[in-house]
Chain A
Amino acid sequence: MSVFRSASSLFLNGGVNRASFLSTRFYFTKADDVKSFDKFLDDNKSAVVDFYADWCGPCRMMNPVLEKTFNNVKDTKLAKLDIDKLPAIAEEFGVSSIPTIIGFKDGKEVVRVIGAVNEKKLLDLIEKTK
C-alpha cells in the first residue's frame, strides 16, 4: 500500500526527473571526484558541503543532525565530501579541522562552520546560503 501511495504521488507531481527522485530517497549527494563536486556546485544555487572522514567521531555525531535538517529543508542541497578521497579539495578550501560545513551561494563560499553543531546553527548556515 505504501508503494502504491509513493508511486501515485510521483505521478501526481506531473513527472519527476531522476535527480529529485534520488534526492527524495537520500538526504545528500556524495561527491566522490572533482567532476561530481563541480557539478554539484553548478547545479545547486544554494548548496552545503560537509567535509568529513570515516575515522572522525564528531563527523558521525553530525550525521543524524544533518539527516533531520536536510530532510525538512527544501531548496538547499547537501553534499558529503570524504577528505581522504579528495584531499586536494580539502586543502583548496583550507579545511583544518573536521567536521567543517561550508555553505555555498551560486558556487561561491559564503559561510563556514567548524566542528559539530546543533540543528539551530545549521539552519542559520542554510539561511545564509539562500
Chain B
Amino acid sequence: MFRLSTKLTSNKTLFSKTVKSVTTLNNITYNTTINNTSRAFSSKLFSSITQSSSTSKKLFGLISSTTLLLQVSNQNKDTLSLTEQSQQQRKMSSYSPSKIENVVIIGSGPAGHTAAVYTGRINIDLITILSYRRRRRRRRRRHYYRARLDPLMFEGFMAGGVAAGGQLTTTTEIENFPGFPGEISGPELMDRMREQSIKCGARIETKNIVKLDLSERPFKIYIEDEPEPIQSKSIILATGATAKKMGVPGEETYWSKGISACAVCDGALPIYRNKHLAVVGGGDTACEEATFLTHFASKVTMLVRRDEMRASKAMQQRVLTNPKIEIIWNHTLLSAQGGDKLTDLTIQNVLTKEEKKLEVGGLFYAIGHVPNTAFLNGQIETDETGYIITKGHSTETNVKGVFACGDVQDKIYRQAITAAGTGCMSALEAERFLSH
C-alpha cells in the first residue's frame, strides 16, 4: 500500500485522480448502506480520514476504509448485496393468487412438455414503438414483443403414483421415439424434455393439483397445501394415466413387499434376484416387463386371461421365443398369499374354473392404465372408462378454454410420440383461443 503511494506521489495529477476515484468508491459504499448506524460509522470514518494531513495516509486510510465498509455492509443483516437479493427473488415462487395466468399446464409427460415448449415460445402482441431521435432525424421504428404466453406447468410430486416426467420415467430403453436412434432411457428423455421446456420459457413447479373449478372464467386451480387458488385463462390437461391394480385379497398386504405395478422400477431389486416371478397381463407392457425381468429372475410366468395376447406381433414373438418365459393361457389371478413376504398365488382357469397354486417370489401387474381424471369431479366430459372426450381432430373438451392431450384422452394409441403430438395441438389451440 505504501509503495503504491510513493510511486504515485511523483505524478501529482495521477495521484489526485486515484484519491478522487477512491473517494467516489467510498461514496458509493456510503450510499448503499441503508442502516442508520452503519451510515453514521461510515460518515465518521470518512470525515476523519479526509481531515488527516499526510496524503499517503489519506490514500491508505481510504482504501482500507473502503474494504472495511464493504465488510460492514455485508455483515449487516438488513442490507442485502445484489447477489443475495437475486437469490431471495429466486426463492419466491413464480405464481401468486392475484395474477391471472395465460395458460397452466397440468402434467409433465411428453404431452405436457411439448405443450410447454410450444406455449413458451409463442410471442403475441407484436407492437411497434416509434422512438424519437434528437436533431430532427427520421423516427426510428422499434419492434417490441409485448407479451409472451408465459406458461406455468405443474409437474406434480409423485402425482399419479409416478415421478415427474410421467410413465416414461418407469421405462428403461426407448427404441421407437423418433430422433433417438441410439440408446436412450426414459428418465433421460424426460430430463431432456424438461430442460427444453425451461429453455423455451416455461415455469415449472413441483406441486400437485387437488381440484379445479371450471364453472367460470378465469378458471380456478387449487394447489395442494395452499389456501388460495390461482387463476388461469386456459388450462391444458396432460395428467396421463396410472397403472391398474387388480384389488385381489393379499394385494394390500404384499404391496411393495412382493407385488408391484412397475417391473422396471422394482425388478432389479435384490429380493427378486433369481426367483420365480409372475407377470399379469397380455399387452405390450406385459411382454416388455416379462422380457425385462428375465435378466434378473430364474423364471418368468405370464398370466394371460384369454387364449391370445393383445400385444403387437413383434412383442409376442419376443416373448414366445424366450426360453425363460412361460405363458399360462386362460388364467386369472385370484389371491396372493405368504408369510412375511409373498410366497404363492392362487390362479383360476377362466374356462374350467379350476384353481391352481403357483409358487412365486414376486408379482407384477401389467394390465393397463386408468386415466387420471378423478380430480376433475365430472366437470369435463369423460367416457365410461374415464378417458376425456375430445372433439374430432382437436384437443378441445366440452369446456371452452380447457384442452386435453396425451394419454388422458387417448385410449387407442397411448404412445409417447402421439402424446407429444397432441401436446403440440393443445398448445396451438390454446394460443388461438387466447388471441380471440
Contact = CB atoms under 8 A, between A and B. Distances in A.
Interface of A: 1-2, 4-5, 53, 55-58, 60-61, 64-65, 83-84, 87-88, 90-91, 94-98, 114-116, 118
A1 B74 contact: yes
B71 interface: yes
B231 interface: no
Given A1-B74, A61-B164, A98-B265, A90 B260 contact: no
Nearest to A51: B269
10 contacts: A5-B74, A55-B187, A57-B163, A64-B206, A91-B270, A96-B257, A96-B258, A97-B269, A98-B265, A115-B158
Contact of A96 (B164, B165, B187, B266): B266
Given A57-B170, A57-B187, A115 B269 contact: no
B157 interface: yes
Interface string B171-189: 0100000000000011100
Nearest to A97: B256
User: Can you list the 6 inter-chain pairs with the closest CB atoms, starting with the nearest?
Assistant: A57-B163, A57-B169, A97-B256, A87-B270, A91-B270, A61-B163
B265 A4 contact: no
Which one of B70, B165, B269 has the highest number of Cβ atoms from chain A below 10 Å of its Cβ?
B269
Nearest to B164: A61
Given A55-B185, A56-B265, A116-B158, 18 more contacts: A1-B70, A1-B81, A5-B74, A55-B268, A57-B162, A61-B158, A84-B268, A90-B270, A95-B270, A95-B271, A96-B257, A96-B269, A97-B260, A97-B266, A98-B269, A114-B256, A116-B157, A116-B163
Given A1-B71, A57-B169, A94 B271 contact: yes
Contacts of A1: 70-71, 74, 81
B75 interface: yes
B39 interface: no
Contacts of B70: 1
A95 B269 contact: yes
B170 A98 contact: no
A86 to B, nearest CB: 10
B341 interface: yes
